[in-house]
Amino acid sequence: MSGQIAYIQEKITKFGTSYRVTPAKKFTDVFPNFRGVTVKSNLDAQHLIKTWDKKWEIHTSGGENTEVYSSVGTVEQLISAWQGSIAYKDNAASTQRNYNQVVDRLLHWKIKKGKRFGLVKVDDVDYEYAQRIFQAVAEDVTWNNARTTIIRLRSAWNEGRRLRLATNNPFIDVKLPKAHVRRVMWTPEQVTEMIKFCDANGRVSIGTAITICYEWMQRPVDVRLLKWADFQDEGIGEFIQQKTKAEMRIPITVGIAERLKLHTKHNTDDFIIRNELTQKPYSADRLTTVFANVRLKSGLLPKVRDKGKKNEDGSYVYTNVRLADLRRSGVTHGSECGCTHDELMAISGHKNIASLMVYSVITETNAHNALAKRGLDTVGFKKLGREMQGFKKNNEASSLLSVIAEQNRIIAQLRKEVQNG
C-alpha cells in the first residue's frame, strides 16, 4: 500500500543524506493540504508513510468516523508519531520513561465533555484548548507539572507539524510560570557522616554512591551504571553520561580510589555498585528506595527547607535530602572554593554555563571569596556596628538594614566634606 500513496527518494548532498517523502497524486487529490516532506532518516520516512497509509485506508473504506479508525487525525496519533521519531528515541531511556509518563497520563485526561484528550482531533486543539490543559494539570497536580506537560506537548506538536499531522503549534503561545529550581544541598559534614554510617551498617554500596556523586558531581543514574572498565590504570574515570551523552574523563580522587578498594572486582564488565543483599546492580527505583531507608535509619539527614520553593500560602517547603542533591552540593562547594565555570563543567559534564548555574547555589561564601579576591577585608555585622564612628544602636535587635543605612549616611557625609574642601 505504501507504494500506492507515497514514494521515498534518497538525497545525498555535501550536508549529508536526507529522504524526500512525496505523496502520490491520487492522495493529494483527496488530501490537498498534504505535500512532500523531507526527513533525516529512512526510519522517519517509513514512519510517515505508515500514518498516510492509515489515513488513506480510512478514506477508501468510508470509515472516517467509525470507532476502529477513531485514532487517526487525533492527538493520540500525533503523540504516537512523536514517540516513534528519531529525535525522541535519541533521548536517554530514563528521559523517554519520564516523557511517556507525562503523555500517557495526559492522553487519558478528560478535558472537555467527558472525552479523553487522546481522542480529540488535532485540528480542534487551539490556543484556548492548550491553555485549558495547562490550567487543568496545574489545578489537579502542580504548576511545575503543568509546565513540564506543556513543554512536552510543544515538542510533540513540532514533530506533528514536520510530519504534516498538525498545521500549527498552539502550545507555543502558552505562557509558562518560572520553573521551580531545587535548592536543597548536603553539607560536607553530612556527606562524611552518612558514608561512615553506611559502612558501619552493611551498605558500603550506598557510601560509595554518595562519594562519587559528591566528589565527581554526577547524577545517581551515571554512578550506579559505572563499571570497572570505566576506571583506567592511569587514574582516569571514563564514561558517557546517560542523559546528555557527554563523554567524561575525570581524574580519580583519593576518596573514590579508597572506596573502590571496598568492592570486589570479578570482571571488567561488572558493575561496581551492587546491592549487598542480592549482589545485583541497582535499578534506579531500588537505589532510591535503599537510600531512603538508610537515610531514615541514620537520622543524620532531617528534612530541610527548599530555598527555591514556597507553598501557595507563602510558607516554606520542607523536603527530604536526596541522593541526587549531591550533584548540586558538589557544584556549589566547588564554586565556593573558587573553581571556574570551565573547571566545574569539566567534572560535572554540563555543556554550558546556563545549565551549570541551575545546579550552583550562590552562597555567602561566594560573596566572601569575591571580596577577598578584590583585596577587601570583611568583618561581622556586630563588629561593624561597634566600629562605626558615632553609631549608637537604639535597639540591640536593630536590623541589618539600619546598619547599612547608617553606613551609607556616614559615607555620604564624608563625601560632602571632601567636596567642600
In order along its 421 residues, the chain shows pLDDT tens digits of 445 678 888 887 765 777 788 888 887 777 765 667 676 677 767 777 777 777 777 777 765 433 333 445 788 889 888 888 888 888 877 788 778 878 877 887 776 666 778 888 898 899 988 998 888 887 777 777 888 889 999 999 998 888 888 889 999 999 887 777 788 999 999 999 999 999 999 999 999 999 999 999 999 999 999 999 999 777 899 999 988 888 999 999 999 999 999 999 888 899 999 999 999 999 888 999 999 999 999 999 999 888 767 776 778 888 899 999 999 999 999 888 888 888 888 899 998 888 888 777 776 676 766 667 657 665 554 443 444 444 344 443 344 445 445 555 655 565 555 555 5
Report pLDDT for 188.
92
Report pLDDT for 68.
33
CATH number at residue 364: 1.10.443.10
**Number of independent structural domains in the chain:** 4
Residues 55 and 152 in one domain: no
Residues 195 and 287 in one domain: yes
Report pLDDT for 413.
62
Residues 22 and 78 in one domain: no
Q: What distance in Å separates the CA atoms of residue 231 and residue 238, rounded to the nearest whole number?
A: 6
Backbone angles phi, psi at 237, to 5 degrees: -95, 130
Report pLDDT for 419.
55
Report pLDDT for 280.
93
Whether pTM exceeds 0.85: no
Domain boundary among the residues 15, 45, 69 is at 69
Residues 108 and 8 in one domain: no
Residues 162 and 210 in one domain: no
Residues 26 and 56 in one domain: yes
Residues 31 and 149 in one domain: no
Domain boundary among the residues 44, 69, 94 is at 69
236-240 and 247-251 as β-strands: parallel, antiparallel, unpaired?
antiparallel
Q: Are residues 119 and 71 in contact, defined by beta-carbon separation less than 8 angstroms? A: yes
Q: Are residues 51 and 81 in contact, defined by beta-carbon separation less than 8 angstroms? A: yes
Report pLDDT for 33.
56
Report pLDDT for 233.
74
Residues 21 and 137 in one domain: no
Q: Tell me the H-state helices in 284-363.
A: 284-298, 325-336, 341-348, 353-359
Dihedral sign for Cα atoms in the order 352, 358, 359, 363: positive
Residues 351 and 371 in one domain: yes
Domain hosting residue 412, numbered range: 381-419
Domain boundary among the residues 179, 208, 231 is at 179
* Cβ neighbourhood burial of 106 (10 Å; 0-12, 13-18, 19+): buried
Residue 17 host element (H or E):
strand 16-23
Question: Could you tell me the three cell numbers for 156?
Answer: 510533540
Residues 135 and 77 in one domain: yes
Residues 125 and 170 in one domain: yes
CATH number at residue 157: 1.10.150.130
Residues 167 and 222 in one domain: no
Report pLDDT for 308.
66
